[in-house]
Chains A and B, each alone.
Chain A
């Protein structure tokens, strides 16, 4: 084994250790949500944005604070309301008078989006105009104001939350914006055992305050770079493409194809394919491997495709469970591969 090979092997082992440490640290503050924590870590190291969906009081905002503490990065919070303006997020130009000069000038004042981690709380309460202000930031990692572009810090993540039941006075996110989220994660209601632990941990104090930084900014950058080195074989790429095509009703399994054509109006986008493979690389490294396996694709598929398929009107009216339907698709795909 050559030196570079040995180094890479050590890096993989270190990645695995750090990942376990990060998940363990978050697990101390977020009780009973190991899958959510694992998926969040995957999304963070993939450099993707996450849409958290869950009922109020399940700790979505708290989770964001814990992540910021564990990563040692600043957290900016935007509470969305219908009257929230885009400039409230991106920033605006203000007139500045300098004491040493009598001249006045406009200067761009950065908004909360110029943070490494931005918590956009209840994003579906913001107006479409404000929601659209996030598009460029999420995709291009920059903000354009008055004809001038401002780069966002690297790495840059948006954690958006939304409430699935309070739909009055909300503006559902358009598909274009949904597609820009790497993962859509569901925050499930914790079990009784987890609730008991939650009482002990959070009744009198905030666990997030006790979280120390386990991964530095530089270490995060190194880990993200390492992810790009992971080998993806042609067979695995073909399998991922087959999964995306399955959501469009193009599968070698005739029954699932017919079912997809009946229930899905539009399948996953190519951005969904990228999301799956990027997340799969992180998942592989977390398993101590330098190559992606089908299991990694499978693990990344559900959170990456959950918000990328559109059910037909008939299926929505008949109450078809899109999540269960997607699980069936993934199961069939795995069986075929």
Chain B
């Protein structure tokens, strides 16, 4: 083996060492950045899902930012041969042999080497051949990974699944908030409309608003449609009722409360226009007994809601019986799980064709309504000791 080839062996070893160092640097910065990214992902991911304060893209960019910073460090920290020789000396305990040999190669030509320099170079070449074998084994990527890597991967995977769970958690929280809000309204029906909003914590505000908006749109469209088809002045009883202004106002106010309660149970917002429309509708409701029996049971909403549309005669009877209480029964729709009549919730006038109404709901709204009544049913079961009405 001639001198140049010997030097090549040594230089190859130093280059291999440099590669190893760069690999370690890459792993080091990558792991650090992954840790940072994991923390950011969990933090901003939860904020995004639970509160929606950040958009998904912003969360994604924030999560990736440590990786970009690490990439810059990795590119800038490419080690030199001198540094590689120095670290090789430290790792293989060769006491500056590689440093000295590299220095000799860089600063002296082979022909002018002193005996001491030639001896050092030979020793370095001989030692590097041995060290290179050890280094080849160490150059596997997995050996550069620290023991914390599995933990990091577990955290990342766990965090991912947690985020998935958090999405369901968010829906559950929102439904519970609706339920709580509804029950609270039931107890305090005289509260103002503004108190309705206070029943929902900020955590589910976005979801609730979204749900309300969806339902409101559907309901308003349907109500508008049905108002046009209802003949509010056809019933003579209504004239009689309207002639008793005070009594009518009392009834109307009571209706408003129940309507609000019903709308609120679906997460709908109230407004004057809608309230007026509903008032008209409800006024007509009490005397409308034209709904066919085949629309009593509607299974459009996932077969979870059983609609009981009372017979208008019974309704009138009840109205007459309860007229002294200045109340009109608005529980035209009572749902399974309602412990009794008083706890049943009127949503819309019975003059509305229920099949049409649910047909107009979006699948998402249907889904939410189903979830809501599921939760409501469970709540009523627990409140009545599991007894079904």
A2, B103: Cβ atoms under 8 Å?
no
Partner-contacting stretch, out of A3-11, A141-149, A153-161: A3-11
Contact with B along A226-261 (1 / 0, CB 8 A): 000111111110000000000000000000000000
CA distance A232 to B103 in the complex (A): 9
Q: Contacts A1-B122, A5-B122 given; indicate if A233 touches B116 (C-beta within 8 A).
A: no
Contact in complex: B95, A4 (CB < 8 Å): no
User: Which residues on the B side are within 8 Å of A289 (C-beta)?
Assistant: 95, 97
A51 within 8 A of B: no
| Contacting pair B103 A4 (CB below 8 A) | no
Residue of B nearest to A5 (CB): B118
Residues of B contacting A2 in the complex (Cβ-Cβ under 8 angstroms): 118
Q: Let me know if A291 is at the binding interface, CB within 8 A.
A: yes
Q: Which B75-90 residues sit within 8 Å CB-CB of chain A?
A: 82, 85-86, 89
Residue of A nearest to B82 (CB): A235
Q: With A229-B114, A231-B104 as given contacts, are A236 and B119 in contact (CB-CB < 8 Å)?
A: no
Cβ of A293 < 8 Å from any Cβ of B? yes
Q: Of residues 206 to 234 in A, which have CB atoms within 8 Å of B's CB atoms?
A: 229-234
Does B99 touch A at the CB level, under 8 Å? yes
B117 at the interface (CB under 8 A from A): yes
The answer to whether B119 and A8 touch across the interface, beta carbons within 8 angstroms, is yes
Q: Indicate whether A8 sits within 8 Å of B116 (C-beta atoms), given known contacts A1-B122, A231-B104, A235-B86.
A: yes
* Minimum CB–CB distance for A44 against chain B, Å: 21
Q: Are A9 and B119 in contact (CB under 8 A)?
A: yes
Majority secondary structure, A binding face: mixed
Cβ of A295 and Cβ of B95 under 8 Å apart?
yes
Whether A235 contacts B118 by the Cβ 8 Å rule is: no
The answer to whether A229 touches B115 (Cβ under 8 A) is yes
Q: Give min CB distance, A302 to chain B, whole Å.
A: 19
Give A231 to B96 CA distance when docked, in angstroms: 11
- Contact across chains for B115 and A291 when beta carbons are under 8 A apart: no
Contacts of B118 in A (CB 8 A): 2, 4-5, 8
Q: Which residues of A contact B86 (CB under 8 A)?
A: 235
A5 to B103 Cα, complex, angstroms: 18
Contact (Cβ within 8 A) A231 B100:
yes
Q: Are A4 and B115 in contact (CB under 8 A)?
A: yes
Q: Which of B88-118 contact A (CB under 8 A)?
A: 89, 95-97, 99-100, 102-104, 107, 114-118
Q: How far is the CA of A287 from the CA of B96 in the complex (A)?
A: 13
Contact (A5, B95) CB under 8 Å given A235-B82, A290-B120? no
- B119–A290 CB distance below 8 A: yes
Query: Which of the listed residues B85, B95, B115, B120 has the most CB atoms from chain A within 10 Å of its own CB?
Result: B115
In the bound assembly, the distance between CA atoms of A149 and B89 in angstroms comes to 49
Q: Which of B263-280 contact A (CB under 8 A)?
A: none
What is the CA–CA distance of A71 and B100 in the complex, to the nearest angstrom?
A: 33
Asked if A230 and B116 make an inter-chain contact with CB atoms under 8 angstroms apart, the answer reads yes
* Minimum CB–CB distance for B268 against chain A, Å: 66
Q: Given A8, A12, A293, which contacts B95 in the complex, CB threshold below 8 Å?
A: A293
List the A residue with the shortest CB-CB distance to B103: A233
Interfacial chain B residues near A8, Cβ < 8 Å: 115-116, 118-119
Q: Tell me the bound Cα distance from A313 to B23 in angstroms.
A: 51
On whether A233 and B115 interact (CB within 8 A), knowing A289-B95, A290-B120, the answer reads no
Report Cα–Cα, A7/B116, bound state, in Å. Answer: 10
B residues with a Cβ closer than 8 A to A are: 82, 85-86, 89, 95-97, 99-100, 102-104, 107, 114-120, 122-123
Residues of A at the B interface (CB closer than 8 Å) are 1-2, 4-5, 7-9, 12, 229-236, 287, 289-295
Task: Pick 25 A–B contacts, CB within 8 A, sort by A.
Answer: A4-B115, A4-B118, A5-B115, A12-B119, A229-B116, A230-B116, A231-B103, A231-B114, A233-B99, A233-B100, A233-B102, A234-B107, A235-B82, A235-B86, A235-B99, A235-B103, A236-B96, A236-B99, A290-B123, A291-B95, A291-B100, A291-B120, A292-B100, A293-B97, A295-B95
